Amino acid sequence: MRKKIVAGNWKMNLDRTQGEQLIQDVLAQKAEVSKGAILVFCPPFPHLGYAKSILGAENSIFLGAQNCSDKASGAFTGEVSAPILRSFGVEYVILGHSERRQYFAESDSLLAQKVDQVLANGLQPIFCCGESLEQRNAGDFVNLVSEQLTKGLFHLSAESFAKVVIAYEPIWAIGTGVTASSAQAQEMHAALRKHIAKYYGEAVAQNTSILYGGSCKPDNAAELFACADVDGGLIGGASLKASDFIGIAKSF
């Protein structure tokens, strides 16, 4: 069964005081969240310890990381491994975000290794895929984004793939204030689900949660989430304000 997920990617924002306040504010409003919806906080690494302490045994709000290493341990200064994340109570890990691909030159082959590390440690990848404005205008964006799934994920067994959450992020709509129309979002989500079905079968495809990530806000979330193949959102800027994050999470 597909999960309804709203994951907040804080990116490189909020100091400790601000982060603690945000988590407390969201917890205070969690009763407004749509029934069955899962919330995930994905803060910068230094926030993880206290965030887990605040959340405690909360069973509807989970902790996620924004990235992890492709290595389990070793002399890799500045990196954070999946085993370390697991030890802090992390349950989800964002992989392949467009900013990581663009600014840190993360390749499909590297991401495949990161996916393996995350799954080997019992965590769930939120695997990002998407196209730039130039690529969309070139017209072959469906095949391009589908290829990101093929190279990053399709080495997995069906059992392992079933633990992956997909996040489609039109790069041209991230932080720009431009949002893909609900029709554009549905078109791509349906295409990705069809691509998954070709390789893993219809049952796996229909049980894969595919999130939308691209300037999702409280005033457009309901329309996006009403699409048949949109199962929630990977939220950037709107996740930094509790009322906006909750506003999105009650839009199912």
Cβ neighbours for 17, distance < 8 A, ≥ 6 positions apart: none
pTM (2 decimals)? 0.96
Which helix (H) or strand (E) covers residue 65, if one does?
strand 61-65
pLDDT for residue 224: 96
Tell me the C-alpha distance between 36 and 62, whole Å.
13
pLDDT for residue 98: 94
**Model pLDDT for residues 90-144, shown as the tens digit of each residue:** 999 999 999 999 999 999 999 999 999 999 999 999 999 999 888 888 888 899 9
Catalytic annotation present for 195? no
Domains annotated for the chain, with CATH where assigned, are 4-249 (3.20.20.70)
DSSP 72: S
Catalytic annotation present for 169? yes
pLDDT for residue 180: 80
Neighbour-count burial for 119-143, b at 16+ CB within 10 Å, e otherwise: bebebbbbbbbbbeeebbeeeebbe
Of 131, 169, 189, 195, which is the active-site residue? 169
pLDDT for residue 99: 95
Q: Residue ranges of the chain with pLDDT lower than 50?
A: none
pLDDT for residue 240: 98
Q: Helix, strand, coil shares of the chain as percentages rounded to 5?
A: 50, 15, 35
pLDDT for residue 1: 82
Of 47, 97, 189, 195, which is the active-site residue? 97
The three state secondary structure string of 121-182 is: CCCEEEEEECCCHHHHHHCCHHHHHHHHHHHHHCCCCHHHHCCCEEEECCHHHCCCCCCCCH
pLDDT for residue 136: 83
